[in-house]
């Protein structure tokens, strides 16, 4: 057995299997080296010692050669496996759908989070209202010209549908039935059900009898705010709206208030936000100090329901605004019909933050 030949053979082995055979051939139970080791017993002690040492060195060398080649072959095998398994990672993956909320929901959630940060609670009210909550109780009696400002979808009361009041009572008899024209009836509903002080915001669908076109919808969303307490002032209203402006448009945002008229507030104000990025004022909504007639209407109703009067001496502010307009402006969307009339996925999927 020539050790150099043996080592060369091992280095030439191209597979792990071939190397394994060589290993058996030399180092196995009946391998060449093993046989020579077995033959040691026939030698004299001196020869045996010397020969034993040589054989052990050979064994070491062969084993090292086997291990070294093994590692090389393993590395090669891994390499070829990796090459075999290589794929085109540029091909697209499974089309897991990226869902999302409607643009209006996103805008609404953004506004609500601002108010929640200021400690407001979010509550919602019904879309079908009685005339009392939508108009009369918020200081818009039947004869009031302000009713002309809101064209109304009136409903037939067939008797098959119950409108519920704030205490779970049926209120179909409180005037006609209608689709609420604003979220303001929740001011009264909430005041009947709860006691001051409190801060609430009310998002929701509202309805106006209008022909739909690029800038008008018969159904749209409003956000209403109401804060009532013993010492609420109009300056607090300004603070709330300024905070809204900042959360929408950053530290450079401003809020502007001008007198206007809404039957449910006195003094009344419309507000505009300064949008620094576009350098313009956006007329956004109406606001003001809660009209005393609303407190009276809430207390009268409470009394009727056997609840104590709690609004005497209270003051409060309220505000309301449309939600779609903010989204239309932010993204430069030219037509409100994209929102509800069409619900095209290629529109809805665009808005992810």
**Residues in 89-118 at the binding interface with another protein, rule: CB under 8 A:** 91-92, 94-102, 104-105, 109, 112, 116, 118
The minimum distance between CB 331 and another protein, in angstroms, equals 16
Tell me which stretch binds another protein (CB under 8 A): 13-21, 40-48, 67-75, 341-349.
341-349
Peptide bond into 13 cis (omega under 30): no
| 3 belongs to the binding site for another protein (CB under 8 A) | no
> Between residues 70 and 243, which has the closer beta carbon with respect to another protein?
243
Q: Counting contacts by CB under 8 A, is residue 348 touching another protein?
A: yes
Which residues inside 37-66 make contact with another protein, applying CB under 8 A? Answer: none
Nearer of residues 15 and 252 to another protein, judged by Cβ: 252
Rg of the chain (C-alpha set): 42
Please state the length of the chain.
353
- Say how far apart CA 227 and CA 338 lie, in whole Å: 34
Tell me the closest approach of the beta carbon of residue 3 to another protein, in angstroms: 54
The CA-based diameter of the chain, rounded to the nearest angstrom, is 133
For another protein, the binding residue among 51, 238, 296, 330 (CB under 8 A) is: 238
Contact predicate 153/209, CB 8 Å:
yes
How far apart (Å, rounded) are the C-alpha atoms in residues 140 and 207?
Answer: 17
Name residue, tokens 């409100």.
Answer: 336
Q: Does 242 engage in binding with another protein (CB under 8 A)?
A: yes
Count residues contacting another protein (CB under 8 A)? Answer: 96
Which range binds another protein by CB under 8 A, 13-21, 56-64, 74-82, 196-204? 196-204
Q: Are 111 and 323 in contact (CB under 8 A)?
A: yes
Residue 281 CB contacts under 8 Å (≥ 6 apart), including other chains:
256, 272, 273, 274, 275
Print the binding letters for residues 141-170 with another protein: x by CB under 8 A, - otherwise: --xxxx-xx---xxxx-x-xxxxx------
User: Of 41-49, 61-69, 78-86, 230-238, which segment contacts another protein by CB under 8 A?
Assistant: 230-238
At a CB cut-off of 8 Å and minimum separation 6, what does 11 contact? 65, 69
Smallest gap from Cβ 242 to another protein, in A, equals 6
Query: Based on CB atoms, which residue is closest to another protein, 45 or 159?
Result: 159
Q: Does 175 bind another protein (CB under 8 A)?
A: no
Among 138, 191, 253, 289, binds another protein (CB under 8 A): 289
Residue 194 binds to another protein (criterion: CB under 8 A): yes
Query: Which residues in 316-332 are b (16+ Cβ under 10 Å) and which e?
Result: bbbbbbbbbbbbbebee
Q: Which of residues 250-269 bind another protein (CB under 8 A)?
A: 256-261, 266-269
Sequence-distant (6+) residues with CB within 8 A of 321 are 222, 223, 284, 285, 286
């Amino acid at each position: 057995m020539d050790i150099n030949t043996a080592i060369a053979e091992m280095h030439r082995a191209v597979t792990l299997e071939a190397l394994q055979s060589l290993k058996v051939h030399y180092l196995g139970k009946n391998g060449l080296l093993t046989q020579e080791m077995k033959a040691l017993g026939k030698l004299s002690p001196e020869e045996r010692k010397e020969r034993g040492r040589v054989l052990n060195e050979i064994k070491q060398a062969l084993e090292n050669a086997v291990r070294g080649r093994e590692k090389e072959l393993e590395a090669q095998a891994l390499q070829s496996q990796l090459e075999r398994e290589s794929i085109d990672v540029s091909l697209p993956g499974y089309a897991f759908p990226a869902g999302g909320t409607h643009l209006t929901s996103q805008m609404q959630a953004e506004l609500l989070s601002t108010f929640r940060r200021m400690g407001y609670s979010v509550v919602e009210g019904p879309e079908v209202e009685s005339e009392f909550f939508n108009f009369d109780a918020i200081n818009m009696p039947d004869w009031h010209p302000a009713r002309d400002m809101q064209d109304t979808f009136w409903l037939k009361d067939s008797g098959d549908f119950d409108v519920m009041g704030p205490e779970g009572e049926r209120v179909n008899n409180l005037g006609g039935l209608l689709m609420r024209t604003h979220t303001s009836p929740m001011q009264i509903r909430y005041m009947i059900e709860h006691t001051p002080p409190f801060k609430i915001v009310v998002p929701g669908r509202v309805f106006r009898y209008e022909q739909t076109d690029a800038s008008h919808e018969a159904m749209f969303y409003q956000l209403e705010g109401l804060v009532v307490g013993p010492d609420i002032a109009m300056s607090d209203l300004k603070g709330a709206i300024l905070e809204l402006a900042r959360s929408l448009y950053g530290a450079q945002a401003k809020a502007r208030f001008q007198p206007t008229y809404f039957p449910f507030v006195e003094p009344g104000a419309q507000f505009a936000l300064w949008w620094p990025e576009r350098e313009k004022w956006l007329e956004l909504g109406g606001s003001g100090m809660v009209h005393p007639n609303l407190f009276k209407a809430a207390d009268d109703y409470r009394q009727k329901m056997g609840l104590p009067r709690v609004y005497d001496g209270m003051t409060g502010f309220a505000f309301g605004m449309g939600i779609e307009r903010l989204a239309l402006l932010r993204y430069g969307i030219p037509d409100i019909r994209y929102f509800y009339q069409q619900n095209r996925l290629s529109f809805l999927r665009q808005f992810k933050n």
